[in-house]
Amino acid sequence: MASFAKHYHFIANETNPLELLTITHILNGLLMIAIPVALAIFLKRRFKHSWVLYFSGVLGFILSQVGHIPFNSLLTMLFQREILPAPPEAYTLAFNAIVLGLSAGLWEELVRYGMMRWWIAKPVRTWSKAVFFGSGWGGIEAIVLGFLALYSLVQLIALRTMDLSSVLSPEQWEILQSQIQQYWSMSWPTSLLGAYERMWALVLQICLTVIVLQAFTRGRIYWLWLAVGAHALVDAVAVYVVGRWGALPAEGVLTVIGLLAIAVIFTLRRPDPIEEAEAPLEALPIPDAGSLTMETAVTEEKLDDSRYQ
């Protein structure tokens, strides 16, 4: 077992220097964190909305996952115990892609709609607010995954020099060896795909928020279901393409979807209404007692003249 670590270390150094891969893995995690933070700062300065709006999007994503993740775990358990009928093996990938896509679409878009309608003190009803809210929704997802990527890097650096064959079963040790080998033998451009994917996923989350916005501004609930369907379709396609052809083709598909999402975002753009501040009422001058007496006298005199002429 110890010979595996030595052999793998030699292969990794020969094809992809570990120093370079370590740097690119670190860069990948940092970019996953930095991209949404930079976008949030830019949008804050551009639109001047409250940070409450942004962090409402953050909270919305977290709430959606509180239901989404246990729901997926429950479905997995039901299929494993054969309480729910599993599809034929030939259709397993397509079935999983559809189920996971629908699960993500329903949980996230229904929670997004609820947050936009009821949670925020000033509801999201303009394009710029939807963009800022959506950047918080997708931003926290990217940031969390960025920290997880850095945490995984630290673990795999440690595991690279550890021999756990005496602790793990032979099957577990073989799986762990395979994971370590895959991680440290990938090309350095591949190690940056996580940040690239998060960038387009962030665009997609903003796009979906803008689509849900139309349910309010146009008064048609079918826009919500359009967002659910779009979210489910994108996730299903991503899962299927990764499972069938691998990561690089999946990123290509995601690029096309991301470009379409940008087009949708700006196609649905409407100028924000100008919020005019109410002009303060000017204080009326308070006349003194003398002016009131004079004005009264003049008024009575004119009335007498008009009465007897």
Cβ proximity of 50 and 128 under 8 Å: no
Q: 147 vs 305, which has greater pLDDT?
A: 147
- pLDDT per position as a tens digit, 167-188: 778 888 888 888 888 898 899 9
pLDDT digits (tens, 9 = 90+) for 193-206: 999 999 999 999 99
Q: Supply the pLDDT for residue 271.
A: 86
Q: Indicate if the pLDDT at residue 11 is higher than 60.
A: no
The average pLDDT across 279-286 equals 47
Residue 55 pLDDT greater than 50, yes or no: yes
The whole-number pLDDT of residue 64 equals: 97
Domain span at 53 = 2-308
Read off the tokens for 237.
């396609």
* Region 50-77 average pLDDT: 95
Total number of domains constituting the chain:
1
pLDDT at 213 over 90: yes
- Which pLDDT band, with edges at 50, 70 and 90, does 33 fall under? very high
Percent of the chain predicted with pLDDT > 70:
82
Whole-angstrom Cα distance, residue 225 to residue 214?
A: 11
pLDDT digits (tens, 9 = 90+) for 96-136: 999 999 999 999 999 999 999 987 656 789 999 999 999 99
Task: Place 273 in a pLDDT band, splitting at 50, 70 and 90.
Answer: confident
